[in-house]
Amino acid sequence: MTNALQLNLRSQSFMQDANGYSVWQVNNIEQTWPADKTALLLCDVWDQHWCRGACERLEEMIERMDQTVKAVRGAGGQIVHAPSDTMDFYAESPARKRASETPQVELPPDIERADPPLPIDDSDQGSDTGETETHKAWHRQHAAIAIDEERDIITDKGTEVYSYLQHRGIEHLLILGVHSNMCVLHRTFAIKQMVRWGVDVALIRDLTDAMYNPAMPPYVSHAQGTGLVIEFIEKFWCPSVESGDILGA
């Protein structure tokens, strides 16, 4: 027996107010997503990162991420673990094979959408703790996130995610993970491509983080920079929800 996820979807639309001023209006719409028609994807929730600040902020979220995964799975939803560039680690995993052995479906043409520039400058790679050299520090998904080998899937390919969703009749995709201005938007399995393929997507806004250095434009705090990216996503790509909607808190 599956349950339903009661979600408060927040988006923003550009409009003229009653006095003729141009404004971004926040829209909150309550929707019910059947859990068996919903997947939760974890984007690049790696075990390590080259940026100390990124590691420390992930550690602050990791327990609630795991709680959210368990809640969606327990309700009957599908869990998609997508730790990019670590598929060798999962070569013998049944969850990995479940994704890679799924017959590939024909991909739909991309839906055209406006794609304006981000509101933050991340051209320095976004570290706020002084690192300037990037490198692959990750080897697997964070060990605190449990993988159910009998039900979950593991993949870092958008075509595998889309094909699996289609074969399972899954219509809705929740996304959590890092980083909101980079991987969460741009991976082949993440927001932009899934939206372009017509998948109904929502970002879990309290379980994400940006790569942003306050020394770069628009010269705001790291938390404010992350908030600007989330608002950008709400305006141009997909709505956001709180993990509390899923956890019932």
Q: Which two tokens stand for residue 33?
A: 């997503």
pLDDT reading at 1 higher than 80: no
Averaged pLDDT for residues 72-97: 98
pLDDT reading at 89 higher than 90: yes
Q: How far is CA 149 from the centre of its chain?
A: 21
Rounded distance, CA 18 to CA 225, Å?
Answer: 30
Averaged pLDDT for residues 22-37: 98
pLDDT of residue 249: 54
Angle subtended at Cα 223 by Cα 218 and Cα 227, rounded to the nearest 5 degrees: 75
Question: How does pLDDT run across 32-41, given as a tens digit for each residue?
Answer: 999 999 999 9
Q: Which of 2-11, 118-127, 137-146, 228-237 has the lowest mean pLDDT?
A: 2-11
DSSP E strand boundaries for the chain: 4-16, 22-34, 38-43, 78-82, 153-154, 172-178, 200-209, 240-241
Whole-model pTM: value is 0.97
Question: How does pLDDT run across 146-205, given as a tens digit for each residue?
Answer: 999 999 999 999 999 999 999 999 999 999 999 999 999 999 999 999 999 999 999 999
Q: What is the DSSP string of 13-81?
A: EEEE-TTS-EEEEEEEEEEEEEGGGEEEEEE--BS--S-HHHHHHHHHHHHHHHHHHHHHHHHT-EEEE
Amino acid in the structure at residue 134: T
pLDDT reading at 2 higher than 70: no
Using DSSP's 3-state secondary structure scheme, residue 196 falls into helix
Domains and CATH numbers, the chain: 34-247 (3.40.50.850)
